[in-house]
Amino acid sequence: MTHTCKAILFDLSGVLYDGTRVIPGAPEAVQRARETGLILRFVTNTATKSAATLVVDMRGMGFDVRPDEMFTAPMAAKTYVQQRNLRPYVLVHGAIRDEFSGFDQRDPDCVVLGDARDDLNYANLNRAFQLCHRGAELIGIGMNRYFMDDGGMMLDAGGFIRCIEWAAGVEATIMGKPGAAFFEQVVLSTGVPAGDCLMVGDDAIADVAGAIDAGLQACLVRTGKFQPGDERKVPSEARIIDSIRDL
């Protein structure tokens, strides 16, 4: 790298693993970064597993991951709602719904929308629309278009967030990549300036362009959801490598 790098922010899906398949050389790359003395953060918009479950799963894949190094978009959304004492209508995946169970959800004054899979049906989306149309704040868990899983490319929550924005005439607060507030939270946890942090991801917009817009360095990997032509979607200062093992 031509710039000082004191902390590395690793995206998970598509960078370190695809579904249940570990990307070759990924555990070794993480370990080398740790042995070099770099500060590590594992940064994901994954909204179908809790942070604790992600840590357990990754350890099972051979990654040295510590709980305080994990930053997820659902965690950021929960913190945002707590800090503002909001009452959320929660439209998220069943695996993380309990993380929001402590909130008063009567007469909601905000909508928390994430990758809820089959719960992203007409009735639920219409409820979210009605609330936002009446003035409730829309909080998106990440803003990805799609992701790579064992079943191939999968539609993510970004399109549904855009749908509610357009229909209700509102602008969502994005707690997750590429939201600047999310990157700010992660950078703050490292104790070093944003310019000394390197984000490594497979999403040209959410990971790479979003990080650079937030003042970080960024590197795009040609794995996961990467598609030919994505190189042209990232700022000129972004690095591009074939795989995390080349980092």
CA distance 69 to 71: 7
User: Can you read off the two tokens belonging to residue 173?
Assistant: 């607060």
With a cut of 60, say whether residue 2 has pLDDT above it. Answer: no
Answer whether CATH 3.30.460.10 is correct for domain 85-174: no
Q: Percentage of residues in the chain with pLDDT exceeding 90?
A: 86
Output the CA–CA distances (angstroms, integers) from residue 244 to 49, 107, 125, 145, 155, in the order listed: 23, 46, 37, 22, 24
- Domain layout of the chain by residue ranges: 7-73+178-246, 85-174
CB 114 within 8 A of CB 73: yes
Helix and strand totals (H; E) in the chain: 7, 14
Note whether 7-73+178-246 and 85-174 share their fold: yes
pLDDT one-digit tens code per residue, 3-18: 689 999 999 999 999 9
CA distance 99 to 93: 11
151 pLDDT band, cuts 50/70/90, is: confident
Please say if the pLDDT value at position 106 is more than 70: yes
| Full-model pTM | 0.84
CB 196 within 8 A of CB 5: yes
Calpha distance 77→54 (Å, rounded): 17
Say yes or no to pLDDT of 161 above 60: yes
pLDDT tens digits along 17-26: 998 899 999 9
pLDDT of residue 3: 65
Residue type, 128: A
- Identify the band that residue 1 occupies on the pLDDT scale cut at 50, 70 and 90: very low
**Superfamily holding 7-73+178-246:** HAD superfamily/HAD-like (3.40.50.1000)
